[in-house]
Amino acid sequence: MSSSDPRSEATRDAGAVPRHIAFIMDGNGRWAESRGLPRAAGHGQGAETLRAITRRAVERGVEEVTCYALSTENLLRRPPDEVDGLMELLRLYLARDRSEIDELGVQLRFIGRRHELPANVQADLETAERQSAGHNRMILRLAINYGSRSELVDAARAIAEACQRGELDPRDIDESHIAGHLYDPSMRDPDLLIRTAGEERISNFLLWQISYSELYFAPCAWPDFGPERLDEAIDAYCRRRRKYGGIVSPEVRSAPRDR
C-alpha cells in the first residue's frame, strides 16, 4: 500500500475496518513523569498523538472516532492548573489544527455537559462544530466534561419531561428513546473501544453505546500510541468474530486481511 494514496487504501479495506472507534486516551501523566517532565508535557504529546491517529483513521476509512478527552471526574479531581492547561490545550488544538481538519475533511463534534464549561471554551466548541459541519470524510467526536452516567441521567430527565408534557406515554419508552436522547443521537455504536496505558476498565465512558463493542487494551501510554499501533488494533479487530449476543456472527470476519 502506498501511504501517499490513502483513498485507495481506505477503499481496499472497506468493510473490514471498524466503522466507529472509541478511544480512552490514558497515560499522558505517566508518560511525562517517567521522563521527568511536567504532566502538561504529556498532554501536549497526547494532543500530537490525537492528530496522528485522526489522520491514520481517515486513511483507513474509519467513519467515526470518539475520544475521551476530559471526563467530568477529571475536571473535578485534578488540580485547577492542570484542568486550565487542558482547556487551553483544547482551544489551541482547535485553532492550530483547523487547516488540517479542513484538509482531512473531518467533522468535529463534542459531547458532554458543555454548558458547565467556561464560556470561551463553549464558544470555541460551537465555532469548531459550525466550521467543520460540511466535512464528511470522518466524524471526530471529543468527549469533554463527559460522564456516561450523567449522559443517561440527562436522557432520563429529557424523556421524563416529554412524558410530563404529554408527548410520550411511559409504556411506549424503548431503547430508541434512550438512544435518541443521548448527547449525539446520530452516533453509531462503537465497533471497537481502545484504551491505552494498560488499564483494563471503562471508566464511565459510553456505557450504553459499547454494549456490543470489541474491547482492545494497549499497554503503551497514549503519547506512544502511534499510527502503527492503531493498525495493530484494527488488525486484531478484523480477526475477531462479533456475535451481538447471538450464536452466529452477522458480520463474519473469519480471516485477517493482508495487513
By annotation, the residues acting in catalysis are: 26, 74
Window contacting ligand FPP (CB under 6 A); options: 42-50, 98-106, 163-171, 251-259 = 42-50
Residue type, 165: R
86 binds ligand FPP (CB under 6 A): yes
33: helix, strand or coil? helix
CB atoms within 10 A of CB 14: 11
The residue of the chain with the least Cβ separation from ligand FPP equals 29
76: helix, strand or coil? helix
Burial classification of residue 173, based on how many CB atoms lie within 10 Å of its CB (0-12 exposed, 13-18 middle, 19 or more buried): middle
Applying CB under 6 A, among 6, 18, 29, 147 the residue interacting with ligand FPP is 29
Least Å from the CB of residue 153 to ligand FPP: 22
Tell me which residue of 127, 152, 128, 140 sits closest to 72, measured CA to CA. Answer: 152
* Positions 59 through 78 that interact with ligand FPP (CB under 6 A): 69, 74
Applying CB under 6 A, among 17, 50, 155, 234 the residue interacting with ligand FPP is 50
89 binds ligand FPP (CB under 6 A): yes
Residue labelled with grid coordinates 513523569? 33
112 binds ligand FPP (CB under 6 A): no
CB atoms within 10 A of CB 43: 23
Question: What are the residues binding ligand FPP (CB under 6 A)?
Answer: 25-30, 43, 46-47, 50, 69, 74, 86, 89-90, 93, 197, 222
